[in-house]
Amino acid sequence: DTDTDTDTDTDFEIGGDCIDEYGADGFYDCVGDCYGDAMRSFIGDTFCDDGTDFVHLNCAVFDFDGGDC
């Protein structure tokens, strides 16, 4: 089941599939926000994506942002 709205959902799986606000395939970050699959490139990019500025990847599912956090 792919969610098609862009708000934070209470019924989501971290890393699970969703459709982002632009209609593109996406995934749920650590707090349930849907981001386009392109944001996966932020994992392990030497910057800790902890949700302060954008996507939240600082959790076990994303290996704590690929070790960046």
Q: Please report where in the chains the tokens 């632009």 appear, as a residue.
A: 22
Rounded CA separation 6/36 (Å): 11
pLDDT band at 1 (very low <50, low <70, confident <90, very high): very low
12-44: pLDDT as tens digits:
999 999 999 999 999 999 999 999 999 999 999
pLDDT band at 11 (very low <50, low <70, confident <90, very high): confident
Q: pTM of the prediction? A: 0.82
**Contacting residues for 21 by C-beta, under 8 A, at least 6 apart:** 6, 34
Rounded CA separation 20/23 (Å): 5
**Contacting residues for 60 by C-beta, under 8 A, at least 6 apart:** none
Q: How far does CA 25 lie from the centroid of its chain?
A: 12
Q: What pLDDT, on the 0 to 100 scale, is given for residue 10?
A: 65
